[in-house]
Amino acid sequence: MTELSIHKVWIIAKREYLERVGTRSFLLSTFATPVFMGLLLIAPAMISASTARGIVSEGAGAARIVIACDNRALAELARGELIRHAGARYQPSVVSPASAGERERLDKLLDAGGIDGYVWLDAAARASRHVVFATALIGDFILQRRLGDALSYAFAADSMVKQGASAADVAATLEPVDLRAVRAGRPSSLYNAMRGAAVVLVLMFVMFFSLLSYGVMVMRSVMEEKHARISEVLLCAASAQELMTGKILGTGSVGLTQIAAWFAMAAFGASRSPYLRAAMTALDVGPSLIVYFVVFYILGYLLYSAIFASVGAIFNSIDEAQQWNFVVILPLIAASAMILPVATAPDSPLSLAVSIFPFCSPILMFERLAVHPPPLWQIALSLVLLVAAIGAAMLICGRIYRTGVLMYGKRPTIRELSRWLRHA
Amino acid sequence: MTPTVELIRVRKSYGGFTAVDDLSFEIPPAHIFGLLGPNGAGKTSTIRMMVGITGPDSGCVRIFGEPFSRRALHRVGYLPEERGLYRRMTVGDNLVFLGRLAGLSVATAKERIGAWARRLEIADWIDRRVEELSKGMQQKIQFIAALLHDPDLIVMDEPFAGLDPVNTMQLKDVLVGLRTAGKSILFSTHRMDQVERLCDSICLIDRGKSVLQGSLGEIKAGNGRRFVQIDYEGDGRFLCGNPLVDSLNDYGNHAEIRLKPGADPQELLRTAARGLRVLRFQVMDPSLEQIFIDRIAGADD
Task: Produce one character per residue of A47-74: b if its CB has 16 or more CB atoms within 10 Å, e if not.
Answer: eeeeeeeeebeeeeebbbbbbbbebeeb
Q: Name the band, by pLDDT with cuts 50, 70 and 90, for residue B41.
A: confident
pLDDT 10s digits, B57-96: 888 999 998 888 888 888 999 998 877 889 889 999 999 9
Distance CA A261, CA A26 (A): 11
Q: Does residue A66 contact residue A95 with C-beta atoms inside 8 Å?
A: yes
DSSP lists the bridge partners of residue B48 as none
From B170, B137, B159, select the one nearest B33 (Cα to Cα): B159
Mutate to test the interface with B, among A232, A239, A420 (most CBs of B within 10 A): A232
Is residue A231 less than 8 Å (CB to CB) from chain B?
A: yes
From B180, B185, B107, B109, select the one nearest B144 (Cα to Cα): B109
Cβ contacts from A onto B, under 8 A: 58
Q: Does residue B149 contact residue B77 with C-beta atoms inside 8 Å?
A: yes
Distance CA A120, CA A70 (A): 10
DSSP letter at B129? B
Question: For position A227, what pLDDT does the model report?
Answer: 83
Classify the phi-psi angles of B200: left when phi > 0, otherwise alpha if psi is within -120 to 50, otherwise beta: alpha
Q: What is the pLDDT along chain A (424 residues), one digit of tens a residue?
A: 456 789 999 999 999 999 888 888 888 888 888 788 777 766 766 666 555 554 444 445 688 889 998 888 888 888 988 888 877 788 888 888 878 888 889 888 888 888 889 999 888 888 888 988 988 888 787 888 888 999 999 999 988 888 888 888 888 888 888 877 666 665 555 555 555 666 677 778 888 888 888 998 999 899 888 888 888 888 888 888 899 999 999 999 999 999 899 888 878 877 887 766 766 665 566 678 888 888 999 999 999 999 999 888 888 877 888 878 888 889 988 988 888 888 888 889 999 999 999 999 998 998 888 877 789 999 999 999 999 999 999 988 888 888 888 877 667 777 777 777 776 5
From A242, A234, A231, A236, select the one nearest A5 (Cα to Cα): A242
For residue A57, the SS3 value is: coil
Tell me what the mean pLDDT of segment B210-232 comes to: 81
Distance CA B287, CA B229 (A): 13
pLDDT 10s digits, A150-184: 999 999 998 888 888 888 888 888 888 887 766 66
Inter-chain residue contact A15 with B97, CB threshold 8 Å: yes
Beta strands in B28-124 (DSSP E): 31-36, 58-63, 66-67, 76-79
Inter-chain residue contact B100 with A232, CB threshold 8 Å: no
For residue A401, the SS3 value is: helix
For residue A98, the SS3 value is: coil
Contacts of B87 in chain A (CB under 8 A): 228
Tell me: cis bond preceding A34? Omega within 30 of 0 counts. no
| Nearest-by-Cβ selection for B89 from A19, A231, A416 | A19
Distance CA B159, CA B34 (A): 11
Is residue B97 less than 8 Å (CB to CB) from chain A?
A: yes
| Nearest-by-Cβ selection for A235 from B53, B81, B100 | B53
Q: Does residue B9 contact residue B24 with C-beta atoms inside 8 Å?
A: yes
Is residue B50 less than 8 Å (CB to CB) from chain A?
A: no
Is residue A138 less than 8 Å (CB to CB) from chain B?
A: no
| Nearest-by-Cβ selection for A11 from B54, B78, B101 | B101
Inter-chain residue contact A233 with B97, CB threshold 8 Å: no
| Nearest-by-Cβ selection for A232 from B15, B84, B102 | B84
Q: Name the band, by pLDDT with cuts 50, 70 and 90, for residue B184.
A: very high
In angstroms, the separation between the Cα of residue B52 and the nearest Cα of chain A is 6
Inter-chain residue contact B142 with A233, CB threshold 8 Å: yes
| Nearest-by-Cβ selection for B84 from A19, A228, A419 | A228
Contacts of A406 in chain B (CB under 8 A): 48, 53-54
For the sheet with B201-206, list strands across it.
B76-79, B153-157, B184-189, B31-36, B201-206, B209-215
pLDDT 10s digits, B116-135: 999 988 889 999 999 898 88
DSSP letter at A140? -
Q: How many CB atoms lie within 10 A of CB A187?
A: 8
Is residue A1 less than 8 Å (CB to CB) from chain B?
A: no
